[in-house]
Structures are given as C-alpha cells and as structure tokens.
Amino acid sequence: MARFAAAITGASGVIIGIRLVTELLKTSEVHLVVSKSAFSVIAHETGHTWGTHPVAALRDYFRSSRLFYHDQDDLHSAIASGSFITDGMVVVPCSMKTLSAIANGYASNLTARAADVTIKEGRKLIICPREMPFSAIHLENMLKLARLGVVVAPPVPAFYHQPETLADTIDFIVGKLLDQLSIEHNLFKRWPGQAESPEDMQ
C-alpha cells in the first residue's frame, strides 16, 4: 500500500485538501498535518469545527484506519524523519508563509520539516500555492522549489470538461494532483483530442 504525507495549511481552498485526502485514503495510508490556522479556515469555509478535538473529529469525518493525524508542533513525529518511508507529500492548499518556510529550509513546524525531508530524500513533493496575484517574492520561492524538482501546482480550474457544479471544479483539481501521484481516478472527463480519421489522412 502506498503511503503519503499530506498537509492542509491556512489558506483559502481547504476543501481541496480535504477532498484529496478522501481520495488518497481509498488506496493509500495518509499521514495528515493540519495547521492551527487551517482549522479556522476549515470552520469558516466548510462549517467543520475540527480544531478543538482534531483526532476524534478527523476520525469521525474520514472514517478510515489508514488516516494518521500529526500535530503541526510535533517535530518528533514519524514524518519528520527521512527514515520513515513515504511515496511523497502534498501540501494543499499551501499558504505563502508555508511556501516561504519550505523554500528557505525553515523547518519550524511539522509541515515544513516533512516537506524538507521529502526534498532531501528525493521524493515527490507537490505544493498547491493558493494566492492571487503572486508577488515577485512568491514567484521566486516557487522557482527555487521548482528547480529542486518540487511540483508547483496552483489550484487552477479548467473548463474543457464542462463542469456543472463547484464539486466538479474541485474534482478536476484533485484529479490533476492524483495524476501527479500516478493514482488512477475518474474524477473528470479527460480531453480526447481531435485526431483526424484514417480517411482524412489519405
């Protein structure tokens, strides 16, 4: 079974991270970190008040024995060590504060430390920076990480699959993240292309 680290930080769009974890748990073990500010955003954007008793709340919501929750201040957590093998890590959404910490190796909390470990061990790291517009500081931090092999995947929707609901748009973004992790899914209709028929090619 695959094993991934996942982090939800305090930026808008937390539902994307929640939806991604839901999909990952279908096939994988997930080690989840949720920042303190993310709990506030989750309450505001989704109505889920998980911050007071996160372990019980997350267990009740996801209902999976494959989910392991780690406090953001627990630098003794398994995912803080390179000897704990994972198949990669996703930070979604990724706040600009977290982006800066990862880009500059400032591992003051578990999310930044786990990301640092993922980079140093040569494993796949995906970040979903949620901000608009990006400043030159944000772009420089993203460029630094991209040059290290980090996948920078802002949660940008597409419309060629003709989404009808907000859930369709969220599923498209989550599906693109799953593609990066080589996990099969059917969350959106793929672009079939417009190939010419054999008769047209003659």
Sheet holding 125-129, edge to edge: 67-70, 28-34, 2-8, 89-94, 125-129, 151-152
Look up the CATH architecture of domain 2-201. Answer: 3-Layer(aba) Sandwich (3.40)
What would the pLDDT profile of 39-54 be if each residue is shown by its tens digit?
999 999 999 999 999 9
Q: Which residues pair with 129 in a beta bridge?
A: 94
Residue of 188 and 7 predicted with greater confidence: 7
Q: What is the DSSP letter of 138?
A: H
* pLDDT band with cut points at 50, 70 and 90 for residue 108: very high
What ranges do the domains of the chain cover? 2-201
pTM (two decimals): 0.92
According to the model, what pLDDT value does residue 200 have?
58
Give the separation between CA 37 and CA 86, rounded to whole angstroms: 25
Q: Is the pLDDT of residue 201 over 70?
A: no
Helices (H) and strands (E) in the chain, counts: 8, 6
DSSP 24-44: HTTTEEEEEEE-HHHHHHHHH
Give the separation between CA 137 and CA 142, rounded to whole angstroms: 9
What would the pLDDT profile of 3-46 be if each residue is shown by its tens digit?
999 999 999 999 999 999 999 999 999 999 999 999 999 999 99
| Residue among 191, 183, 186 nearest 161 (CA) | 191
According to the model, what pLDDT value does residue 202 have?
57
